Amino acid sequence: MLGASFALIVNIMIAALFAASFIFVALTNPAGRRALWFAASYMLGMLAPVSLFVIPFSPWPNFFGALNYVGFCAGLFLMTGSLARFYDRGPRWSVVGGLYCAALSSGAMIAEWPQNNLAFNLVYQTPYAFACACSGWIILLASRRGALEIALAGLYGLIAAHFLVKPFFAAAFGVGRTPSEYVASSYAIASQSATGVLLIAAGLLTLLIVAQKAIAEARRAAETDQLTGLLNRRGFDLACASRLASAKAGRDPTTVVLLDLDHFKRVNDRFGHAVGDDVLRYFAALLRLTTPEGALAGRMGGEEFVVFLHGAPLARGRRVAETIRRAAALHVTPRLPPITVSIGVAEIAADETFSHAMRRADEALYRAKTLGRNRVCIARAKRARSIPLPNE
């Protein structure tokens, strides 16, 4: 009895810690609100060890025995729905609810059967196994699937198999005929310990996946301009650094295009900042439509934007810039004022830093502004470094 109680107390504490951990992730990261579903799953599942722990001290052992089954089933099926929600695959709560009701019906059907019967244990454990198998299958169907997801899916498969094997061990070692006898049995210690270890491992993997996603989304938010959805300056610089290094290693041509909306201050002064924000959002959408696949687009601040073209020589960069300029000048959006854009284009030399290429593009952009705006100017070629002569 003491061993089973100890295992149950450990399971209760672990379930409570997981629920608290998921709540903490959800409350400290706005993008991680879905973690609350995992917290709810562990809180419902916690009913199972709490009910079993109470049985020896309660005058209603059968009630708490039933509550153990109801709570554990609820936790496992809610975990299935929580994973589907986390991986953007629904869930269809009507299906989850229907499966849960079917599990409760099967539990009610065997309520009067003796617990040490093999048939009882097979019917009793099958809903648990089915819910875990569904959880593993949902993870395998996820579009984003890394090593942690594959490990978690395999672990849920193992948990499902362990629930299907347990009835045979129960029949071999004996579980007693009633909930009270089950809690007092040596089998209860082994059963609760094995299930607890497997579910702790699943909880840890799930928590790692949720935390990993929360960190990735926080990083994405820090590197994204909230108004336009494009990369901000920090995000653009970080993304360009790796691509530029790859381009230089492969000796691929790269071009940077610097863009500035003409007379944008007049738009804000005449139409208001709300319309100005709409113009910026519209131009960002225009960049997404007019830049080639694989291009990086970012907002450098204010009305200034930038495009990085990997694998594009200067001539192609100029064509892309002209496409953007013409699209901006010919836009047909009645609710927004007409806009034009001035553009500077620079091809990044093999021995040139990105910041130096940006300065040359900025000089070309300035020329486009002074020449009357609404035009594309090409940056002057990078000046070669002078080499001092001997004895000079």
The C-alpha atoms of residue 139 and residue 151 are separated, in whole angstroms, by 10
Provide the token pair at 223. 């590197």
Over residues 3-29, the pLDDT tens digits come to 567 777 888 898 899 999 999 988 887
pLDDT at 1: 46
Q: Which residues pair with 224 in a beta bridge?
A: 231
Give mean pLDDT in consecutive 10-residue pieces for the chain, a chain of 392 residues: 67 90 85 85 89 81 84 92 88 86 88 80 91 94 84 95 89 71 72 86 92 84 90 91 87 94 93 94 94 93 94 94 94 84 94 91 95 94 47 34
Both structure tokens of 71: 């709570």
Catalytic residues: 303
Give start and end residues of each alpha helix (H) in the chain: 2-28, 35-45, 47-54, 61-86, 93-109, 118-140, 147-173, 179-184, 186-222, 233-249, 264-271, 273-290, 314-329, 354-370
Rg (CA), the chain: 31
The residues, any chain, with a CB within 8 Å of residue 25's CB and separated by 6 or more, are 32, 35, 207, 210, 211, 214
Encoded tokens for 140:
């395998």
Q: Are the C-beta atoms of 56 and 8 separated by less than 8 Å?
A: no
- Domains, the chain, ordered by start: 2-222 (1.20.1070), 233-378 (3.30.70.270)
CA distance 251 to 249: 6
Q: Residue 331: what pLDDT?
A: 76
Pairing of strands 341-347, 304-310: unpaired
Confidence at residue 320, expressed as pLDDT on a 0 to 100 scale? 96
Q: How far is CA 386 from the centre of its chain?
A: 51
DSSP class of 381:
P
Tell me what pLDDT residue 183 has. Answer: 66
What distances in angstroms separate CA 200 from CA 19, 152, 155, 205, one per listed residue? 12, 12, 11, 9
For the segment 78-118, what is each residue's pLDDT rounded down to a tens digit?
A: 999 999 999 888 778 888 889 899 998 988 888 878 777 88
Contact 379, 361 (CB under 8 A): yes
